[in-house]
Each structure stands twice: as C-alpha cells, then as structure tokens.
Amino acid sequence: MTYIITALCLRDSSCVEVCPVECIIPGKPGDEWPWFYIDPDTCIDCGACVPECPYEAIFEEDEVPADYTAKGGEYIARIGLEGHYEGENDQGEPVLLECTRQLEAGETVDLTDDIQPNYDYFTDGPGYDALDS
C-alpha cells in the first residue's frame, strides 16, 4: 500500500518537507508530469503528508475517490486540459500550469485515474533517476 497524489495537486510542495523518507518528487517536465509524485516502493504509509496539502490532493491508495465531488473552483491538472493556473508554492515561488481545468461545484471526477501515474513516474518516467541521484 502507498499514498497517492492526485490531479488536485497544484505543486505547492508543502508535503515534501514532512515526508520522513523523502519519497515525494516534483514531476518534470511539468507539461508531461504536472503533479508531485509519491514513490510507492519507498512510501512507508505514515500519512504525514496528507494534512499538509492545502488542496487535499493526497489519499491512501485504497481511498482515492472514484467520484470526488467538487466544492467548486478547485483545479485539476491533467495532460490534455488547456486551462491556465497561476499561483505560488510554499516558498513563494511562482507555479504555472498550462494543463488545468477549474471544477464546477457538485461536479464529480474519477481520481482513481491518477493512481497509475504515481507508479509510472518511478518506472517509465524520470522519477527513477531523481530518486537515484
């Protein structure tokens, strides 16, 4: 079991500092890997990252919702979306995402689609090298 970062992530990086095993990595390049990703082989399931996320983007894998109900106004970031998000991370540095969409209140989104990229980033993606370095 592992924890999963979903498309609700807006790269603010708050989770990174609390992870005791340093297994949360910012996706790069951002237009191909728009979130931060948790290495499932290294995560020790401590849950420390969950309350740190201001966007409530992190879930235990078994609890990732298939029918997340939007409050309204929150963003998701996924490849192929064409909306623009501009914010800042917890260091005050700019965060720009070009593959976002703002959700309507009451809209439901299947966030289980976001489980596999957490695995892929560390197998097929650049995360393997990032952890190794």
Residue 76 interacts with ligand SF4 (CB under 6 A): yes or no: no
Residue 97 interacts with ligand SF4 (CB under 6 A): yes or no: no
Residue 79 interacts with ligand SF4 (CB under 6 A): yes or no: no
Residue 15 interacts with ligand SF4 (CB under 6 A): yes or no: yes
Residue 23 interacts with ligand SF4 (CB under 6 A): yes or no: yes
Provide the minimum distance between the beta carbon of 57 and ligand SF4 in the complex, in angstroms, as a whole number: 4
Residue 52 interacts with ligand SF4 (CB under 6 A): yes or no: yes
| φ, ψ dihedrals at 84, nearest 5° | -110, 130
Whole-angstrom CA distances from 104 to 53, 111, 112, 126, 132 are 21, 15, 19, 33, 40
Residue 9 interacts with ligand SF4 (CB under 6 A): yes or no: yes
Q: Which of 5, 99, 103, 109 binds ligand SF4 (CB under 6 A)?
A: 5
With b meaning 16 or more CB within 10 Å and e meaning fewer, what string describes 31-43? Answer: eebbbbbbbbeeb
Residue 45 interacts with ligand SF4 (CB under 6 A): yes or no: yes
Provide the minimum distance between the beta carbon of 85 and ligand SF4 in the complex, in angstroms, as a whole number: 11
With b meaning 16 or more CB within 10 Å and e meaning fewer, what string describes 49-78? Answer: beebbebebbbebeebeeebebeeebbbbb
**Residues in contact with ligand SF4 by the rule CB under 6 A:** 3, 5, 9-15, 18-19, 21, 23-24, 35-36, 38, 43-49, 52-53, 55, 57-58
